[in-house]
């Protein structure tokens, strides 16, 4: 009796999976699952049009951001009209969980997570699907590493770079110099003077030959804040307006 019930339950589950994967539903795909990889449990959300079997994996920035944060912009809606967008929270970020040692977290391990995600997508949606990587900021760094790692790139059809960072020490040095140059110019113009004075004073104290993770995080935070100031003062404008 138990065997019969088990078989019926299995048939019910298989039927549900087959119904959910009908071609008719692929134009408005809405799916979520968790990727388990070497101690990490990472949420993955798939939205959009999978009719032509093209999937774009969004590699979010940070480290410390999350995949769904990138679904808020208008560009996401446009992309989802044509492609299946994969929003993945990387190891130790967003809503990811699991038992792993943060201090031993490496880019190599995160690239392996991405490799496993791609394998998972191919098992779930078909071996013949087309997969593209789209990395922003830190995600660009991860995407670059993935593409030159062993034969990993054999699993993807393309790679899209969106303002990715590849030489972090050089990037930090240039940004610190920009804080001083742009900040001094904004103070002279009378724009947000007290805020820029604080940023310039802070930037002048940084030893650009010895920037650790904590200072790097401060640079990143102040860069976003400085950008907001430039928007508020009308220095940076939306060209579409």
58 and 155 in a single domain? The answer is yes
How many domains does the structure of the chain reveal? 2
Does residue 104 share a domain with residue 37? yes
| Residue 209 CA, distance from chain mean position | 28
Same domain, 68 and 152: yes
- Shared domain for 143 and 201, answered yes or no, is no
Over 60: is that where the pLDDT of 132 sits?
yes
> Residue 20 above 60 pLDDT?
no
| Count of C-beta atoms within a 10 Å radius of residue 13 | 10
Q: How far apart are CA 149 and CA 235, in angstroms?
A: 41
Average pLDDT, the chain: 86
The values of phi and psi at residue 37, to 5°, are -145, 115
Q: Quick check: pTM over 0.75?
A: no
Considering the domain architecture, whether residues 83 and 115 belong to the same structural domain is answered as: yes
> Quick check: 237 pLDDT over 60?
yes
Mark whether 99 and 153 lie in a shared domain: yes
pLDDT of residue 11: 47
Residue 8 confidence class, pLDDT cut points 50, 70, 90: low
pLDDT at 22: 42
Q: Does one domain contain both 47 and 82?
A: yes
pLDDT band at 1 (very low <50, low <70, confident <90, very high): low
The candidate with the shortest Cα–Cα distance to 229, out of 195, 181, 189, is 195
Half-sphere exposure of 188 (CA within 13 A, CB side): 6
Of 133, 162, 191, which residue is a domain's last? 162
Q: Which of 115, 135, 162 is the last residue of a domain?
A: 162
Residue 213 inside a domain? The answer is: yes
What pLDDT does 102 receive? 72
Q: For 130-165, give the secondary structure using H, E and C.
A: EEEEEEECHHHHHHHHHHCCCCHHHHCCEEEEECCC
Q: What percent of the chain has pLDDT over 90?
A: 61
CATH number at residue 113: 3.40.50.1820
d(CA 3, CA 72): 48
Distance in angstroms (rounded) separating the CA atoms of residues 191 and 186: 5
Q: Of 143, 162, 181, which one is at a domain's C-terminal end? A: 162
Expressed as residue numbers, the domain containing 91 is 25-162
């Amino acid at each position: 009796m138990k065997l019969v019930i088990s078989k019926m339950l299995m048939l019910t589950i298989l039927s549900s999976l087959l119904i959910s994967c009908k071609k008719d539903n692929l134009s408005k795909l809405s799916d979520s699952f968790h990727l388990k990889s070497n101690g990490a449990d990472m949420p993955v959300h798939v939205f959009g049009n999978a009719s032509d079997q093209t999937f774009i994996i969004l590699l979010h920035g940070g480290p410390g951001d999350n995949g769904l944060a990138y679904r808020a912009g208008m560009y996401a809606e446009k992309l989802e009209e044509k492609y299946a967008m994969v929003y993945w929270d990387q190891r130790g970020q967003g809503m990811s969980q699991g038992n792993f040692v943060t201090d031993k977290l490496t880019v190599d391990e995160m690239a392996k997570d991405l490799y496993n995600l791609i394998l998972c997508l191919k098992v779930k949606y078909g071996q013949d699907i087309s997969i593209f990587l789209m990395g922003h900021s830190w995600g660009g760094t991860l995407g670059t590493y993935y593409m030159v790692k062993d034969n990993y790139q054999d699993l993807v059809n393309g790679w899209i770079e969106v303002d990715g960072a590849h030489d972090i020490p050089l990037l930090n040095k240039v940004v610190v110099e920009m804080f001083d140059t742009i900040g001094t110019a904004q103070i002279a113009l009378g724009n947000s003077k007290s805020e820029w004075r604080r940023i310039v004073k802070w930037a002048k104290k940084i030893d650009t030959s010895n920037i650790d993770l904590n200072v790097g995080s401060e640079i990143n935070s102040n860069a976003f804040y400085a950008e907001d100031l430039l928007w508020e003062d009308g220095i940076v404008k939306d060209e579409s307006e």
